[in-house]
Structure 1
């Protein structure tokens, strides 16, 4: 497939961007149905932005939004996404509640990776919640973003066994490996399905 036919994906991050990196590297496969056209986020000094730049991906930095500038931030973000002709947006460790207007603007085209087996443990502190509950498995979920926090349609999940003696840190590390496998695959399946005339 030619680069012109590939779906144009933007990635939003807040931190080191390991899931973003997984997408960038997956996109280098000739048969990958998407390409990463832009990386941005809510922290101009996020390590992941420097990584994306080093890998030759376009980065746009914005000042961290405050309560007063949050609406402007999301308006500016939407503008640069449109200017980059992004067709899909992936939230890869983007630690902001996305306002309803932004969600509506990208309806059916914004995906999120969440470190639990949704609908279990929406929001934060998912690993400690799974450990505290005595669950046999934790895991991760890729879902479409809707106005309901971590409540959109589930596209894919991977289970991760909880081992005896697991801590939040040790569980988080294994779940992150699963995330790096799941997100590129789920995104590829979704954009292929969206673009398939059948």
Structure 2
């Protein structure tokens, strides 16, 4: 009798623990109980939406069309410190977007490096970019650039990484320099990078 009660308690606890660890259903922008849509969005071929923001000279007049990919805690509202005069002088059009699951873009439960690259390609196609465009990846947005290099290299005209996440254990870095820079990071970043390095 006690064994049956023990088994029932363990099964009940495991069921409760599983349910407690599951995220709530997404509250999509524009859905009946969701937040309102305030930015322009495109509809991707799989039915999801990507929100975007345009800056710089008009797209039709631009010499350089650049897609900016935000980092972990960023969004399309991220502002690069580039003067308006320089943007106009160089003829730069900047397009930033909320990655899947950020801001006003719908989540992608099957998101991967490959799907991120194809989201970017579809965004460029729907906004009528030429065949090639430039990209800037900020912080963790650099992984999206890596995906573009791997899956859609024929669309890339050039790329730039801004404060990318680096591997402080890379053997090519001088050990004393790696240690010094790693120790200068905020403690929470040291923990996150340490766990990512040491846990398979």
- Normalising by the smaller structure, the TM-score range is 0.3 to 0.5
Q: Which of these two proteins has the greater Rg computed from alpha carbons?
A: 2
With normalisation by structure 1, the TM-score equals: 0.42
Q: Which has the higher contact order (CA 8 A, sep 6+)?
A: 1
With normalisation by structure 2, the TM-score equals: 0.42
